[in-house]
Structure 1
């Protein structure tokens, strides 16, 4: 059954009716990206009910999608093994899928705009045997960046590759950007601002147990990841370690801190990090926004949640809230921010918290769907937001069993929800 959205706020388009829904593999937050727009054409990817990788495209203003089932399948029993896509500056679609300490699965379209894929390819051939969390990011000039973890949870390092349009080849920029030193690993998110500065944030994890997540760190690069610095401009000696990292926020272990923070940078290059944890003054885990304007890290505790939960154990967890996405934009003289999330308190709908002036802590809550979307987490078309300030969310009702597993749920529609900020009042 399709999710019904509040059309006064958002519009919805259905890509297909047969999306795999027996776990959250299509709707985990670390899909970079589930949707991407290039020159007015929007692309999407998902696993269907027979576990095949399916690609789709449409004119961004159309509700009619063209879909193509590829020859590739994924191990959908593990929700880590999601699909990520991006389009380079020449219009080629890049696709990666099926990773949780697995060898690289990667290919790209045969021609610009095509849904036909090449055979599997290497990137650089180095450190491509144990990948997890592969993510694409697009540079202003059209080159791509590709982040992934090399190694296991609690003991892994961050690798960064770059795809060069001129040569149509990948090079390895960093083979160990953040070093867990055999004791821990970083769970990161990144974003690229309008000037091409790369912003990176992460939490540390000391073991495979999610309860060992702690602290929130930051780094930035102005040269495509070759060199890195703190917000103050102080250069990092690479690799970054727990001793040398800039700490945006100190958060103890066992604070219900989730991994994979959400990262955003506004048009002025200010970084925003969204996640959740239970602060010292909180009675339950709350959504938190950590941001830096004027070279000072600040924390906004949204504070609207009322029910408790506890994080612990391994594997993909069944959690009553989703990890959030964060967006920011200029609204007159103010900075407006929006946090997109899902919470059982609100019936597990697509929800949004909006603050029209970041200097206040006045968050207005609204739901963009009228029915539950299960274990969904928000992913969105980053390129469409950059270009037009239109939010397109990938939405599907999914069910996640704690610690992996197959919920044996019937296939569910794969949809795109569109939302725009309301016009500024004159």
Structure 2
């Protein structure tokens, strides 16, 4: 370990008050066994609480997409199998949303494939969930990375990549709940790399200033080592976009658009499309987090903040390790960091995960964005959640937190187990038996 890491750890042991403030301790209020789930490779499941209902979406033992629904005051789920099954691709995550009239929308199981989209025809009625597989009818044949956003006024927005890695564009749709129809939110793509490159966005997220914030990087080819140019833009309405200093942007935003680059990181210098985020400090200034190599070629976390009319770049970590990555397909992330956030007592905090140095939370000096404390194991879940159940070699625990609106100081969590990513290729040899998908109702402890 680096001397810096050990210094931070020593500080944490000597003065643990900040760590006490940022540590999350959870206890189990209830637990349910949902059923057997596919365990051959990881792919994103989804949990959504929209009181008084709760929804879960997963791939079952036969890899078929299953959606479950229950009322929060009733334990058992009712399930509906949908006519789509996952292959070996870890990109094919599932997403869900409920529109303002109570209709559930489900999308997923796509990686450069035609749009897969289901919608209820009667509000809150699981049996009425049917395939639609069409929104606006154009640029829906090469869909990847579906996302739903519910705006503060209840509008439902859907965005996705049209195209492929290294050549694609980000399209945004908005839903009219009264006519039950979709239209383009923007007349052109938001981010457009044409046939030369594609964007990997994080967000948009709604910030403390009431604006939507987005960061992204460009990639030249399917090879993940060809990421470059971490960038940023913001919007008040998801329609009109501007630079960090308020200059209007002409859409689409392309690699040639001026004023959006945060750090012009070249290809093959460690910029990777996991763990890049927009966070904020106590002055509501945006902070863009990303990963790249330092001057010695080691992997580090960087935080860039807009200060005095320029992006000021801070190296937050000081690790003596290089994560070497390249090629296509889903890979396991050796290093990630979350967004900078404001915690209790005004501390800035940032979660991190490192294959060599472990996971935890940094307490950051707001001026320098360097750790003044390193708090390990700051999310403390009950042992039965962290414990692996399967005896099959190589299995790993997967967790998916609730994406909806659970009660204050409470949350729901999915747990299951799978083998690690395999570059989206079929596995040879014996496969693990199905994993048990479990749902936990948790409460944050004081």
Structure number with the higher strand fraction is 2
Q: Does the alignment reach a TM-score above 0.5?
A: yes
Q: 1:355 to 1:292 in 2, by over 3 A?
A: farther
Tell me if the contact between 2:272 and 2:291 (Cα under 8 Å) persists in the aligned partners: yes
Q: CA deviation at 1:179?
A: 1.4
Q: After the TM superposition, which of the residue ranges 111-120 and 260-269 deviates more from structure 2?
A: 260-269
Does residue 97 of the first structure (1) align with residue 111 of the second (2)? no
Q: After the TM superposition, which of the residue ranges 291-300 and 176-185 deviates more from structure 2?
A: 291-300
Q: 2:239 aligns with which of 216, 226, 250?
A: 226
Does residue 136 of the first structure (1) align with residue 157 of the second (2)? no
Q: 1:324 to 1:112 in 2, by over 3 A?
A: farther
Query: How far does the alpha carbon of each residue in 1:199-219 deviate from its partner, in whole angstroms, 9 at most, with x for none?
Result: 211111011100001121111
- Number of residues of Structure 1 aligned to a counterpart in Structure 2: 402
Does residue 259 of the first structure (1) align with residue 273 of the second (2)? yes
Tell me if the contact between 1:261 and 1:273 (Cα under 8 Å) persists in the aligned partners: no
Q: CA deviation at 1:121?
A: 3.7
> Any stretches of 5+ residues in structure 2 without a counterpart?
1-22, 389-393
Q: 2:405 aligns with which of 384, 391, 405?
A: 384
C-alpha distance in 2, partners of 1:221/1:327? 20
Structure (1 or 2) with the larger CA radius of gyration: 2
Q: 1:141 to 1:7 in 2, by over 3 A?
A: closer
Tell me if the contact between 1:156 and 1:186 (Cα under 8 Å) persists in the aligned partners: yes
Q: After the TM superposition, which of the residue ranges 257-266 and 292-301 deviates more from structure 2?
A: 292-301
Q: 1:46 to 1:304 in 2, by over 3 A?
A: farther
Q: TM-score, normalised by structure 2?
A: 0.77
Does residue 66 of the first structure (1) align with residue 77 of the second (2)? yes
Q: 1:377 to 1:397 in 2, by over 3 A?
A: closer
Q: TM-score, normalised by structure 1?
A: 0.81
Q: 1:279 aligns with which of 290, 294, 303?
A: 294
C-alpha distance in 1, partners of 2:198/2:421? 25
Q: 1:43 to 1:287 in 2, by over 3 A?
A: farther
Does residue 236 of the first structure (1) align with residue 249 of the second (2)? yes
Q: CA deviation at 1:124?
A: 0.9
Q: 1:64 to 1:346 in 2, by over 3 A?
A: farther
- Secondary structure of 2:131 counterpart: coil
C-alpha distance in 2, partners of 1:63/1:355? 40
Tell me if the contact between 2:398 and 2:416 (Cα under 8 Å) persists in the aligned partners: no
> Any stretches of 5+ residues in structure 1 without a counterpart?
1-5, 28-33
What is aligned with 2:220? 206
Tell me if the contact between 2:399 and 2:416 (Cα under 8 Å) persists in the aligned partners: no
Tell me if the contact between 2:208 and 2:284 (Cα under 8 Å) persists in the aligned partners: yes
Q: CA deviation at 1:165?
A: 2.8
Does residue 197 of the first structure (1) align with residue 211 of the second (2)? yes
What is aligned with 2:51? 39
1:17-416 → structure 2 map (5 Å cutoff): 17-26=35-44, 34-58=46-70, 64-116=75-127, 117-174=129-186, 175-190=188-203, 191-193=205-207, 197-223=211-237, 225-244=238-257, 246-263=260-277, 270-280=285-295, 283=298, 285-291=299-305, 297=311, 299=313, 301-303=315-317, 307-321=321-335, 323-326=336-339, 328-332=341-345, 334-339=346-351, 341=353, 343-345=354-356, 351-355=359-363, 358-359=366-367, 361=371, 362-366=373-377, 368=380, 370-371=386-387, 380-384=401-405, 388=408, 392-407=412-427, 408-416=431-439
C-alpha distance in 1, partners of 2:169/2:162? 5
Q: CA deviation at 1:274?
A: 4.1
